[in-house]
Copies of this chain bind each other. A is one copy, B any other.
């Protein structure tokens, strides 16, 4: 078998059986091999940033890596921003970057560039597979690296001659180590802090934002009389009726400071100490209050749910977590606002929904009205690189075919990777996208003031303005095969959202927000 066949066979045997692809000439043997190893599902994306974002969404929902097939340095470059987000989400991904044949690189033909330098910026593991005889072992190592707790990006650079040469063999999956147990003395130290009687707070992230970890964290928090927060941008937060109550730490620095005021001990579980998203003149970067001590319960690579359960026992926590009661808001009528949209979402969110949230300024009020909706997952923009929502929704839908995916998308962000809609149409994915059209980079209008650049005039404001000309997302979606409508009132949105949820396949609703 040739290298490409051995690679795909090895991936499939390790349960990496989806490949989000945008191939070029150097990857043609990989493409051809898809007919020899039909267990691998190739999903075509029209831009590499869609492929990498889809792999992120897939990995968040399955816990297993998808593979991504990219074309040389420029293809990897196009995929980097969503790999950056995936790195922050600690999503396992096997990135395969095709390269020129080894002997061809010295000729510096037009597509030659420094793939290794690019790969290093987002990958926890990089290897160049120099010979077809090595590709099986290299692929098995890549999967194992991607799956190493807490999950990371493993990049395998695949020269074309490695791919096309014979003499390759597939390799068996390598064992993946279970996450490490947190040592007893670390647990005891945190237990002592929680028993001190001083004001404490818990901040959980990483693998502790799933139900098992949250139940234990909620019990611990109850025992200590401490508030329970989760990180601002969780990769996957399990929430809704019957699940533990947890508050996402706000993004805005001043709001974080207010929420943590008076806390003397901040216990971190799979998350780093809170810092400001950006620096602002004369504002602190470190958001831990003065006089507050920070305690870390293990690292993000540890078995955090297990550690939290042991900690709950140590502190004599109640058996039950504080669970969210079921409850949906009343459906609103009349003019659309962020408040009424939140209530519509809360009223109609289907059970088992996967909500992909890249609403930026438009979705900050959504957690409240959706808290009591049936159990669902909430996936956020982990790395701040916009253009993540549509691709992650695409990958999540591939990962969880029985579950409805709701993508909450800002208009500015949607334009980064809008061709994800085409892949949704092609694959018949059950994704309902709500684009919040406020016709601006609204977040930057606020940031212009936050950084003290308030002396700005019309030329500055014009650079944050998306309404000239107006973006018609319904037209664009239709042009890519996704049925689309436009909602200007609550009644519009309710009717269109219900219909989109009821029908199979992708839909887009252009939610036109009133002007400022």
Residues of A within 8 A of B (CB): 21, 23-26, 28-29, 31-35, 38, 42, 44, 46-47, 49, 73-75, 77-78, 80-81, 84, 88, 100-101, 103-104, 107-111, 113-114, 117-118, 120-122, 160-161, 164, 233, 272, 275-279, 281, 285-286, 382-385, 387, 412, 415-416, 418-419, 422, 425-426, 443-444, 447-448, 450-460, 462-466, 468-476, 478-481
A165, chain B: closest CB distance, angstroms: 8
A239, chain B: closest CB distance, angstroms: 21
Once the chains bind, are A460 and B117 in contact (CB under 8 Å)?
no
A97, chain B: closest CB distance, angstroms: 13
- Contacts A278-B109, A473-B479: A448 and B118 contacting too (C-beta < 8 A)? no
Give every chain B residue within 8 A of A101 (Cβ-Cβ). 279, 285
- Contacts A81-B77, A84-B73: A460 and B108 contacting too (C-beta < 8 A)? no
**Leading 3 A-B pairs by shortest Cβ distance:** A469-B481, A475-B479, A35-B457
Q: 5 new A-B pairs (CB below 8 Å) besides A107-B276, A107-B285, A476-B479?
A: A31-B460, A34-B459, A34-B463, A101-B279, A117-B117
Once the chains bind, are A481 and B470 in contact (CB under 8 Å)?
yes
- Contacts A28-B447, A103-B279: A419 and B415 contacting too (C-beta < 8 A)? yes
Q: In chain B, what residue has the closest Cβ to A27? A: B444
Query: How far apart sit A52 and B422, CA to CA, in the bound complex (Å)?
Result: 25
Once the chains bind, are A104 and B279 in contact (CB under 8 Å)?
yes
Query: How far apart sit A202 and B371, CA to CA, in the bound complex (Å)?
Result: 72
- Contacts A44-B463, A100-B278: A416 and B383 contacting too (C-beta < 8 A)? no
Q: Name the residue among A23, A74, A444, A480 with the largest chain B CB count within 10 angstroms.
A: A74
Once the chains bind, are B80 and A74 in contact (CB under 8 Å)?
yes
A192, chain B: closest CB distance, angstroms: 28
Give every chain B residue within 8 A of A109 (Cβ-Cβ). 275-278, 285
Once the chains bind, are A23 and B463 in contact (CB under 8 Å)?
yes
- Contacts A451-B25, A464-B31: A88 and B104 contacting too (C-beta < 8 A)? no
Give every chain B residue within 8 A of A74 (Cβ-Cβ). 80-81, 84, 383-385
Give every chain B residue within 8 A of A108 (Cβ-Cβ). 272, 275
A279, chain B: closest CB distance, angstroms: 4
Query: How far apart sit A88 and B382, CA to CA, in the bound complex (Å)?
Result: 34
Once the chains bind, are A279 and B161 in contact (CB under 8 Å)?
yes
Q: In chain B, what residue has the closest Cβ to A84? A: B74
Give every chain B residue within 8 A of A384 (Cβ-Cβ). 74, 110-111
Give every chain B residue within 8 A of A426 (Cβ-Cβ). 468-469
Query: How far apart sit A117 and B77, CA to CA, in the bound complex (Å)?
Result: 12
Once the chains bind, are B107 and A42 in contact (CB under 8 Å)?
no
A453, chain B: closest CB distance, angstroms: 4
The listed residue (B443, B465, B475) touching A475 by CB distance below 8 A is B475
Q: In chain B, what residue has the closest Cβ to A161? A: B279
Give every chain B residue within 8 A of A100 (Cβ-Cβ). 278-279
Once the chains bind, are B107 and A286 in contact (CB under 8 Å)?
yes
Give every chain B residue within 8 A of A285 (Cβ-Cβ). 101, 103-104, 107, 109
Give every chain B residue within 8 A of A416 (Cβ-Cβ). 46-47, 78
Query: How far apart sit A319 and B411, CA to CA, in the bound complex (Å)?
Result: 59
